[in-house]
Structures are given as C-alpha cells and as structure tokens.
Amino acid sequence: MQERGVNLSEIAKVVYDLQLPYNPTLQINECLESVEAVLKKREVQHAVITGIAIDILAEKKQLPEPFQTIMEVDEPLYGIDEILALSITNVYGTIGLTSFGYLDKEKMGIIRGLNNHGKEVHVFLDDLIAGIAAAASARIAHAHPDESRYQD
Amino acid sequence: MQERGVNLSEIAKVVYDLQLPYNPTLQINECLESVEAVLKKREVQHAVITGIAIDILAEKKQLPEPFQTIMEVDEPLYGIDEILALSITNVYGTIGLTSFGYLDKEKMGIIRGLNNHGKEVHVFLDDLIAGIAAAASARIAHAHPDESRYQD
Amino acid sequence: MQERGVNLSEIAKVVYDLQLPYNPTLQINECLESVEAVLKKREVQHAVITGIAIDILAEKKQLPEPFQTIMEVDEPLYGIDEILALSITNVYGTIGLTSFGYLDKEKMGIIRGLNNHGKEVHVFLDDLIAGIAAAASARIAHAHPDESRYQD
Amino acid sequence: MQERGVNLSEIAKVVYDLQLPYNPTLQINECLESVEAVLKKREVQHAVITGIAIDILAEKKQLPEPFQTIMEVDEPLYGIDEILALSITNVYGTIGLTSFGYLDKEKMGIIRGLNNHGKEVHVFLDDLIAGIAAAASARIAHAHPDESRYQD
C-alpha cells in the first residue's frame, strides 16, 4: 500500500477523528496499533491485494473490456469495490459498517486525497482504506465497551 | 410501521435529501414511490416484521434475559439491528450501503426523532428506516444511471 | 443454548465430520475448543440471544402477528434466521460460508434432529448451530493453512 | 462467459436439479429464463466482469505478485471469489445462500468440470456460476411460494 501513496499513520488519523467523540482519552498510537492489527488479518490482506492489483492494471490499461472502461470512468453503479471493503469492515463485526458508510460519503482525510486523483486509478484503494479505518475503529470500540456506549 | 409512528412520506423526505445533490430534477413523489416499491419486497417485509416485533416486546418487557436488558440500555455493541437493516439495503445492491452508514451516523430527519426516544424502544426501527431509505435511494440511482454518475 | 437441548459436544461432532477430510489428524477436542472460542465472541452471543429469544416467544405464542404465524409454519421464504446465522459464520471470514450452506442443506447430526421438531420452535436454532459449526470449522482451517489447502 | 466455456443451458441444468425436489412440475425452460434474468442485473454483470477479468489475467500471468501466485495455487483461504459470488446470490435475497454453499461444496454439473481445470484458471468462474445458479434458483422459489414451502 505504501507504493500506492498510503501511509498507515494517515489511516490512523482517520480512525482517531472517528473515535475521539466517544473516547476522549484515545491516543493516536492506539489507533495506529489497531490499523496494524487489522492489516495482519489474512482476509484483509487478500482484499487489499485484489483491489490494488485491479487499480494498478487499470492504470496500465491492461484490463479486458468492458472492465477497463468501467474503471476509467469510475462508473458510479459499480459496487465491487465496496463489496471488497465491506469484507474488511466485517472482520470486527457489523458495528464497523456505519463508520464505513460515513467515511465513504464524507471522504475524510487521506480518503479525500485519493478520491480526487489525476492519472492514477484509485477506484478500489479509497474504499479499501475506508474499510480498514472502519474496522480499526470497530476494534477500538470492542476494546472499550464503556466509552463506546455513547457511540451508536 | 404506521402504528410505530412512522409515516412513509417522512422516509421519502430522507430519500429526497439524500439523492437531490446527484439528481436536481428529482421529485418527492418519485421518492415516495421508491419507498413503496422497497416495502413491497418480501425480504424487506420480513426484516421489518422481525425488528418491530422485537422493539414491541422490549417495550412490554416480555423478552427473555439478557436480551431485555440489552435492548433497554441500547447496548452499543449489539449489531443485529444493523444486520437486519443491511438485508434491506442490499435488495438494490451494495451501492445503498454508503447511504445506510451515512444515515445511521447522521440520523437525518425522522431517524433522529426516533433515536431520541423516551419510553418507547426503537432499537430496530431507526435502523430499519435507514435501511429502507438507503434502498429506495439506491433504486433511484439505478433508474437514473447518468445523474448518479456524480454520486460516488 | 443448553436449555434448548443443544450440547456443545454435538456441535463439535458436526465440525469434526466437516473438517476431517481435509485434516486427517484432527481431534474432537480441537473441534470442541473451536466451538467454545466462537461462542466467546460478543457478536456471536448477540445473534444467539436474539434468535433463541424469538424461538422461545414463538413457542409461547407471544409474538405479534403476522410474525407468530410466519414462525409457526416455518415460512420457507423467511430468511432472517439465515441472516443471523451468517453474521456468526462471517466472524472467521467468508470461507465458512460454503460450510454453512452445505450444513443448512444436508442437516447433519444435531441440526437434523432440531429441524424435525414437534411442539418446539427451532426456526432460528438450527441455523444458529449451522452458523456456529461453520465458523468453528473456518477457525480450524485458518489454524491449519496447509491441511486446508485441499479444502476448497 | 461463453468465451470461458460456459453455456447458459448448463447453468440452467444445475438450477433444475436444485429446484426439482421442491417443484416437481418445473421445466428446464423456466430455469434458463431465470438464469437469463439474473444475468441482466447490473450488479451481477459487474461481479462477472470483475471475476472473469482476474481469471484471464492470472492465465496470462499478468497479475502483480503476490496475487499471481495466490491465483495459480488456488490458495484455499482466499475468499474474495466467494465474496463476489455472494453479491450475485444476494440479488434475490438470502434464501439463495444455502444453495450457493451447497453447490460450492458439491460441485454439481458444469461447476465440477470447471473446478478440475488444467492450464486454465477458473478460481472466480466456478464460484460465479454457483452464485448465478443459486440466485436463479432463489428467483424461482420466490415465484412459487407454495411449492417452496417444502424447501427449507
């Protein structure tokens, strides 16, 4: 992911902004640790590997048609990127789902930067990052059941 | 649902606010029609029937423990309400997922009113409505592929 | 679950039968331990609590209509029981999905016994058990990546 | 899909075998029509296009590593193929899930043929077909609620 311009500490910052309202003593280090824990899951790695591969191949214009065109125009009714991201979010249960939808709509931090791309194709990458941030956020909520009481 | 204080036109208003930015000529009538189409699906009806039944039984304190307590305190890590809502949202594909997460976090319109409840238990109802609004919104996006090009 | 006539060792037996072809040195104890690990997950507990509560209330004829009738006739197009079970199966990723569908269709062991019920209502319980067995099976597959190479 | 050696009538045959026990007057034509209806859904087309593109690129050894290797060895813990297939199955609700898991395990008909491949890579294709057959089967069950009463 680093080759695609993504820094884990930027994802940690998204998690921090997301969870701070429910957990005022939260530290950015705990967020980074949570992002790293999410990325150690095999299921998450498979989703990331698959999504980034498709982005790269789209940039190189090596996808068969009509897939290449769907990726280039970022066809809005194409939902496979969200399906992959959802499989990441679900790793810590459905409570991450709300955060994922919110991030996907609000395009916070690093995610906004990726979505407004030039030559590069980030159809999958921005959703994958939203999925990882949502999962890391859910993991923190599970670890602090009392603070998260105010979350829903 | 009307017995639970929900008016379909209020759900249609949520759909309208959600879709207007991508579809400037959208009419509220089209939103209402879309909400009604979603509610005709058998899968949606089953989710609504199940969720509202649990809310009602929780109000009557007729659920077995520990379920009754989970519902009364609106336990934030309880995610079955979101799972049910998700089964509604998915009826028109994964593109509704983003809207659902956004609605669940922002608590727009009718949904906010339900969430801030007094004696009544609306643990499931607010998520069900968010799910219906997200599905109805996805249905409109599918019907207007060009307008929704600006959606993602 | 024990009050509903379910013995964890019977679920472990289903897991054992499911995984043995891919893992010839598998012990029944490892299966039991895996079932117990699945049941410690909060998300799993919430699904089990919710599903069993609905079964119990259906037996006592305390569900509001039309939900009571749907449960009594075991309406075949009602899929909320499978949705809940799926949230259990997903705890160890999507590889459990195949096992769940297979168990649901084949009704192996304890699951068959529950499905053929008399007075008792087990609409949710049989699917919950299939979900737990599928998740416990996926957990074993993750722990033995080499053996499971032949699994797909 | 035809270029990948898949004939729609073979998928229809899988649907027929799956549904016949619950629907003794079922005709193969109705199954074929149901398969075609599933394939007209945009969400289904996107999943098929994405999965087949990955299979083709894997055959051409054009995927970035480690994705190429994962595909070549058909890594059993890789579950993205099932996630895509599930998004197809869900188009007609969760009742298709059981059929999908069953097909994926039993490898009926055309699906078995694809799974035992030589040079060709069908990691995604076999799951996509199982997903389509399961969705087409669920569509028939929804159209015949009485016959399917004996289904669950």
What value does the mean pLDDT take over residues B109-133? 82
Does the N-terminal peptide bond of residue A66 adopt cis geometry, omega within 30 degrees of 0?
Answer: yes
pLDDT at B100 over 70: yes
pLDDT in tens, A38-57: 999 988 999 999 999 999 99
Segments of chain C with pLDDT less than 70: 2-3, 115-118, 145-152
Tell me which residue in A87, A94, A142 faces C94 most closely, judged by beta carbons. Answer: A87
Q: Which amino acid is at D11?
A: I
Q: Nearest to residue B77, comparing CAs of C38, C141, A142?
A: A142
Residues of D in contact with A62 (CB under 8 A): 57, 62
Interchain proximity D87–A77, CB inside 8 Å: no
pLDDT in tens, B57-75: 999 999 999 999 999 998 8
Tell me which residue in B57, B64, B78 faces C46 most closely, judged by beta carbons. Answer: B78
Please, what is the Cα angle at A143 between A138 and A144, to 5 degrees?
A: 95
CA distance A62 to chain B (A): 24
- C-beta separation of C84 from C124 below 8 A: yes
At A152 the pLDDT is 34
At A143 the pLDDT is 84
Q: Which residue has better confidence, B134 or B112? A: B134
At A133 the pLDDT is 95
Chain-centroid distance of CA D66 in Å reads 26
Distance (Å, whole) CA D22 – CA D99: 13
Q: How many CB pairs under 8 A join A and C?
A: 15
B128 phi and psi angles, rounded to 5 deg: -60, -45
At D48 the pLDDT is 96
Angle, in degrees to the nearest 10, between helices D96-106 and C96-106? 100
- C-beta separation of A108 from A17 below 8 A: yes
Interchain proximity D93–B142, CB inside 8 Å: no
| Four-residue CA torsion sign, D17, C152, A90, A44 | negative
- Taking all residues of chain D, what is their mean pLDDT, rounded to a whole number? 86
pLDDT at B128 over 80: yes
CA distance A80 to chain D (A): 7
Interchain proximity D62–A62, CB inside 8 Å: yes
Residues of A in contact with D67 (CB under 8 A): 49-50, 53
Angle, in degrees to the nearest 10, between helices A123-143 and A8-19? 50
Does the N-terminal peptide bond of residue B64 adopt cis geometry, omega within 30 degrees of 0?
Answer: no
Interchain proximity C76–D151, CB inside 8 Å: yes
Q: Which amino acid is at A130?
A: A
Tell me which residue in A99, A101, A103 faces B99 most closely, judged by beta carbons. Answer: A101
Q: Which amino acid is at D21?
A: P
At B96 the pLDDT is 83
Tell me which residue in A57, A77, A80 faces D47 most closely, judged by beta carbons. Answer: A80
CB atoms within 10 A of CB D66: 13
pLDDT in tens, B16-73: 999 998 889 999 999 999 999 999 998 899 999 999 999 999 999 999 999 999 999 9
At B13 the pLDDT is 95
Rg, Å, chain B Cα set: 15
Nearest CA in chain B to D142: B42
Q: Classify residue B126 by burial, with Cβ atoms within 10 Å: 0-12, 13-18, 19+.
A: buried
Residues making up chain B, counted from first to last: 152
- C-beta separation of C78 from C124 below 8 A: no
Q: Classify residue B94 by burial, with Cβ atoms within 10 Å: 0-12, 13-18, 19+.
A: buried
Q: Which two tokens stand for residue D65?
A: 């590593």
Tell me which residue in D50, D62, D78 faces A67 most closely, judged by beta carbons. Answer: D50
Q: Which residue has better confidence, C123 or D4? A: C123
pLDDT in tens, A61-100: 999 999 999 999 988 889 899 999 988 988 887 778 888 8
Interchain proximity A93–C42, CB inside 8 Å: yes
User: What is the maximum span of chain C, computed from C-alpha positions, in angstroms?
Assistant: 51
Which residues, 6+ apart, have CB-to-CB distance to C55 below 8 Å? C4, C71, C120, C121, C122, C123, C124, C125
Interchain proximity A64–D50, CB inside 8 Å: no
Nearest CA in chain A to D70: A46
Residues of A in contact with D70 (CB under 8 A): 46, 49
Residues of D in contact with B87 (CB under 8 A): 93-94
Instruction: Say if the ipTM goes beyond 0.95.
Output: no
At B116 the pLDDT is 52
Q: Tokens 């922002």 — which residue?
A: B106
Interchain proximity A84–D79, CB inside 8 Å: no
Angle, in degrees to the nearest 10, between helices B123-143 and B96-106? 140
At D146 the pLDDT is 54
SS (H, E, C) chain D: CHHHCCCHHHHHHHHHHHHHHHCCCCCHHHHHHHHHHHHCCHHHHHHHHHHHHHHHHHHCCCCCCCHHHHHHCCCCCCCHHHHHHHHHHHHHCCCHHHHHHHHHHHCCCHHHHHHCCCCCCCHHHHHHHHHHHHHHHHHHHHHCCCHHHHCC
According to DSSP, residue A64 is labeled: P
Nearest CA in chain D to B91: D91
Nearest CA in chain D to B145: D42
Distance (Å, whole) CA A56 – CA C71: 50
- C-beta separation of C143 from C20 below 8 A: no
| Helix residue ranges per DSSP H, A20-149 | 28-39, 42-59, 67-72, 80-89, 96-106, 110-115, 123-143
Q: Tokens 């067995």 — which residue?
A: C133
Residues of D in contact with C101 (CB under 8 A): 97-105
Distance (Å, whole) CA B137 – CA B30: 10
CA distance C118 to chain A (A): 34
CA distance A60 to chain B (A): 23
What value does the mean pLDDT take over residues D54-58? 96
Interchain proximity C87–B83, CB inside 8 Å: yes
Q: Nearest to residue B26, comparing CAs of B36, B11, B16?
A: B16
User: For residue A121, what pLDDT band results from cuts at 50, 70 and 90?
Assistant: confident
- C-beta separation of C114 from C129 below 8 A: yes
pLDDT at D95 over 80: no
- C-beta separation of D140 from D26 below 8 A: yes
Q: Which residue has better confidence, B116 or A140? A: A140
Residues of B in contact with C78 (CB under 8 A): 46
Nearest CA in chain B to C64: B53
Distance (Å, whole) CA A23 – CA C106: 46
User: For residue B118, what pLDDT band results from cuts at 50, 70 and 90?
Assistant: low
Query: Which chains contact B through at least 3 pairs of Cβ atoms less than 8 Å apart?
Result: A, C, D
Q: Which residue has better confidence, B2 or A140? A: A140
Q: Which residue has better confidence, C61 or D109? A: C61
